[in-house]
Structure 1
């Protein structure tokens, strides 16, 4: 009975995190004046919208533009995400990390534009899911895994809690902004 209740609770939390992420991306797309912001609520197109937001903002930061000028984030994020599902173990993990890094770049651009004073702090805090996934990967390695094996409980809790942080910080950063004209 506990297993069924735990699965239901986990599914409910995952749905809540997904809806929060979708709403944050939707609000940001509306503020940026991007077409079809409702795509943020469609699972595959959520990364497309996040990439569109990044593409609309990457020219605002010279360092990011120098690195990602030729990368269309709107297409790269969903394609790499699909590749992560189709590839086997080591490559799927690398593809997941690429999606996480791309998401962090978009978060950095959002915070750089809307909350410049807290830009680095917010990006580091929003990067907690990536840090958790890196620690989870390290815990699977035979040589290094012993050092991280005790963190399994912390990683399990952090994996549920940390994805909420980025969208909440985005919503906090764009508070008071209306549609971009």
Structure 2
């Protein structure tokens, strides 16, 4: 059952990135459906939007998100426990940065709210990492079932908000 949900979440996220790549007129939007290149496409979307936001551009203008996100994903799979968790958090924050850029461009009125709602998978990830640490395990260990279900369902939030943000836009 969780495999079917994960595939559904992946297809929804891929479709949201694909649709946004078409709207942004980026090359090869079909890459959004290929697992490794999905992060590349998300980074390209972020790169095309970060120059329109002066605050983000001043902080992250020199970082090519289209290459950084896939490389962090590779590092996450190659590193061992404490570093793979940190790499996963960095990847989550990079994805959140791109979501912020998308929402600030397409729905500036609801940008902060949509970004905060899209934070749910990162919060669930941080809580699951904290539940493994022995000091915090007693506090967060009880919520293991909730965290397991939330880790499957919360990634739907970001792509749904992206699709809501770009509704009515022409291909």
With the shorter chain as reference, the TM-score category is over 0.9
Aligned residues: 171
Look at both structures and tell me which one has the larger radius of gyration over its CA atoms. Answer: 1
Which residue of the partner structure matches residue 95 of structure 1?
87
User: RMSD of the TM alignment (CA)?
Assistant: 0.7
Matched, 1:144 2:136: yes
> Structure 1 CA distance, aligned partners of 2:139 and 2:23?
44
- Give the counterpart of 2:159 among 164, 167, 181: 167
Which residue of the partner structure matches residue 3 of structure 1?
none
- TM-score using structure 1 length: 0.93
> Structure 2 CA distance, aligned partners of 1:94 and 1:137?
9
> Structure 2 CA distance, aligned partners of 1:145 and 1:70?
38
1:15-30 superposed matches below 5 A: 15-30=7-22
Give the superposition deviation at 1:157.
1.3
Which residue of the partner structure matches residue 120 of structure 1?
112
> Which sections of structure 2, spanning at least 5 residues, go unmatched?
none
Matched, 1:58 2:50: yes
Structure 1 residue runs of 4 or more that deviate by more than 4 Å after TM superposition = none
- Give the counterpart of 1:153 among 145, 152, 162: 145
Matched, 1:80 2:63: no
- TM-score using structure 2 length: 0.98
> Structure 2 CA distance, aligned partners of 1:40 and 1:133?
23
- Give the counterpart of 1:134 among 113, 126, 133: 126
Give the superposition deviation at 1:163.
0.5
